Amino acid sequence: MADVSGKNVLIGVTGGIAAYKVAELARALVRSGASVKVVMTASAQEFVAPLTFRTITGNPVATSLFGDPGSPFPHISLSEEADLIVVAPATANIIAKYARGVADDLLSTTLLAARGTVVIAPAMNTRMWLHPATTANMDLLRERGAVIVDPGEGELACGDEGVGRMAEPGRILEILEREIRRTSDLVGKRIMITAGPTREHIDPVRFISNPSTGTMGFTVADRAARRGADVLLVAGPNGLPCPAGVKMVSVVSAEEMKKRVLDNLDGIDAVIMAAAVADFRPVQTAATKIKKSMGVPEIKLEPTRDILKEISATGRKLLMVGFAAETDNVIENAKRKLAEKGLDLVVANKVASPETGFAVTTNLAALIGPGDEEVELSMFTKADLSDRLLDRVSGLLE
């Protein structure tokens, strides 16, 4: 296990036969130095008594929103103090509640109040696991950043054979080890992240831009802050809320973004350029709206200044990560960008299909560093890609 001493882990236990295995999980975490608390649903208590977890963890077991007069808001206090929440076994019912925002008991309410990472270990009959409703709910949770420990295949409690068995405690512990490490591996690091498009104005009401929504950069910023980093987000026009714990600076044009980035480099350990910065801008911007009656205007363009090259020119020693949004020859073009701009890492991102790239929840992407030869594109949720990227960044900053 990773060093979990002093870490607070909250285990949510729901009503499945695999609940008895969670006692082993709780014991392993306690032995590793974690402070473990347990929330049990009413159905979970039909399989395992709360006293079992009270004995293992040394902490009272929470079973009701109204069970502790000394804690009128247990769902808030439990979620705030938890470095990590794991739901095991996670029934189809709690998965549906969490995905759809239902909060009708202590566990579902605590999950909605959670700020940190939530790990889900599903357990159910194969037909329930494969039902389109469950599939849709799982997709929603993945998109929102929940970590899923996929169920195994074998004999189920009902006697059927198939997928649906809760992953073994050892496998769940492996995932928890990784996620616990991710709660603090960027503590003390200052990371600047750019996000969103830029707008290069033709006149006061028209501009050149691109379809970027900023979701990728905002997700990277959110995940970096959760891992303890001091995050500055330089964002082009977008409609997204600033992630918790992140300082955001808003810009419009590529020139504004370049200036804000260069002005804030002091003390920065890494720059992650996830923004879709315009490559060209009008040579002149009309002071007033160009009237249609004036005919089709001729707009002369000039290249914008390359922000990554401007950073390199400062001579500062910091880690630089770029994004390469490509429609073809994705890996080759990304490797060229890596070399030409002297990057430590580049995210090759295919944007030619409806399922990946701009304004969607998934990316067909690959992480490429110097010396990486055998690289293939894989489909990621933006949350998963962000974590994979930050894993590489964390390793390079050590």
The tokens for 374 are 């055998």
Residue 122 neighbours by CB under 8 Å, 6+ apart: 89, 90, 91, 92, 95, 129, 138, 148, 149, 150, 151, 164, 166
Our CA dihedral for 188, 192, 196, 200, rounded to 10 degrees, sits at 160
The tokens for 339 are 């070399």
Q: How far apart are CA 287 and CA 284, in angstroms?
A: 9
Q: Omega of the bond prior to 370 within 30 degrees of 0, cis?
A: no
CB 322 within 8 A of CB 308: yes
User: Sheet holding 319-326: strands in order across?
Assistant: 246-250, 230-235, 190-195, 270-273, 319-326, 345-350, 362-368, 378-381
Q: How far apart are CA 62 and CA 239, in angstroms?
A: 38
Task: Identify whether 158 is a catalytic site residue.
Answer: yes
Sort 121 into a burial class: Cβ within 10 Å, 0-12 / 13-18 / 19+. buried
Instruction: Name the active-site residue from 158, 187, 313, 339.
Output: 158
Q: How far apart are CA 181 and CA 398, in angstroms?
A: 13
Beta bridge partners of 62: 39
Q: How far apart are CA 77 and CA 91, in angstroms?
A: 24
Q: Which long-range contacts (CB under 8 A, 24 or more apart) does 296-302 make?
A: 297/202, 299/202, 301/208
Q: Which residues are catalytic?
A: 158
